[in-house]
Amino acid sequence: MNKTQLVEQIATSTGVGKPDVEKVMKSFIDTVQQSVKKGEKVSLPGFGGWSQTQRKARTARNPRTGVAVKVPAGKGVKFTVGATFKDIVAAKRGTAAKTAAAKAPAKKAPAKATKAPAKAPARKAPAKAAPAKAAKAPAKKAPARAAKR
């Protein structure tokens, strides 16, 4: 679902016009971005939260040339999913199970019938063992790529 589809869905479910929904969404996104930029944590209970992360300076390696590159310290954004959201997506525990149980009427359990003991499954012949191979010396490491000129 993209932003346009989300705006349409919210507009139809709430009865509010699309331009108003777009304004509210834009304001919400701007507010979250500015708050996280300031270092504040934005939290919506049951949905999730946004927070700023700090990354230390480090030395990385260019995968093409193998040359070491210094990466400066920086900031990032982390979104943590709320417990209710996780439960709904995973369809487990309290929230999702309670809503499903509330929608479906309870059914009586069928009476237990006595069962005859089940037959043991027939056993298959064991698979043939693969011939033993001679022990190999450990593989050598591939040489580093030469830099393109």
Structure tokens at 129: 């063992």
Residue 22: CB atoms within 10 A of its CB come to 16
Q: What is the DSSP string of 36-52?
A: HHTT--EEETTTEEEEE
Q: What is the pLDDT of residues 89-107, one digit of tens each?
A: 998 755 445 555 555 555 5
Q: Which amino acid is at 8?
A: E
pTM for this model (two decimals): 0.55
Q: What is the pLDDT of residues 22-65, one digit of tens each?
A: 999 999 999 999 999 999 999 999 999 999 999 999 999 999 99
Question: What is the spatial distance between Cα 23 and Cα 25, in angstroms, rounded to a whole number?
Answer: 6
Residue bearing tokens 């346009």:
4
Helix (H) or strand (E) holding 31: helix 18-37
